[in-house]
Amino acid sequence: MATVSIIIPVRNRAKYLPRLFRSLTALTYRDVEIVLVDNGSSDASLSMCHAFAQEAPMHVTVLEEPRCGACQARNMGLEYCSSEWVYFFDCDDELSPAFIEDVLSNASNADMVAIPTKEDVGGQVRQRSFRPSPSVASQILSSTLNTSGMFFRTAFLRKIGGWDESLGVWQDWELGIRALLCKPNICWLPKKAYHRIYVHPDSITGASMASNLAYRLHTLDVVEHEIATASARRALFFRYAILNGMLRREGSAMRAKYISATWPCRLLGRLLELYTAMGGRGAWRIALMFVAVNESIAIGSE
């Protein structure tokens, strides 16, 4: 039984698979199983996965999930694997060769490990925002825990229900929130950014906020029903405000409906919406500062 299973959904990504396969072959940790889950590809992706399974220097399993959806494919891989640890990756990106050793050498008794990653936008590589914090409000606003940034103990991920198959976008954002709500033992590794995550127009999340907006709103609604604390609800209110600002910046007439909030939140929310619409960056940091101040005041008044 492998120590780590890397589960990778694949759907019509034939042009990206060669660089993924090269990065898998370069992994220096060998007690690993690669689980490629084809999700109804109509191009050469499935045959390429089978060919890689025959040639790869580690054990590779190819599964087929006919139900459309990345979460469906990930859950099939999660159900199949028997490893102690499970990691999810996207098929159009590149893994860092030594990241598994780095993670396992620090994991100890952790339920999950959180790592920063790098993204490639048109050849410009930068580290994604990474804010080590067990706060649900922080995850709501910073999206620190993302697909390639979460390394799970398999038993823990199964305990919290795996991936929500009703979600079309922002699935990793929701999973990070749900994981934090269960108060796991998290090992944060902030010092080194891993992988190369490519941002391109045919990404599953779409080219704009307006594209797939209905899916985004559904994910926000799911999270609204999961959270209960005042700080988390304030953070979600500001998440709606920032989304509306991005929609306005794109020139879209569509808007997300705000959830209820106190008048100071509503005032700041409108300002953050305008700030974002005008091209301002880092609105989530301003919102998180407001949430933290309010939380400190609430604790001090107890």
CA distances for 288 relative to 124, 149, 234, 244, angstroms: 27, 21, 9, 17
CA distances for 289 relative to 139, 164, 231, 286, 294, angstroms: 13, 30, 11, 5, 9
Q: What CATH number belongs to 4-199?
A: 3.90.550.10
What CA–CA distance (Å, rounded) separates 138 from 168?
A: 22
Map out the domains of the chain as residue ranges. 4-199, 228-300
pTM of the model: 0.95
The pLDDT score that the predictor gives to residue 224 is 97
Residues in the chain, pLDDT under 70: 1, 201-207, 296-302
The pLDDT score that the predictor gives to residue 205 is 55
The pLDDT score that the predictor gives to residue 2 is 78
pLDDT digits (tens, 9 = 90+) for 32-41: 999 999 999 9
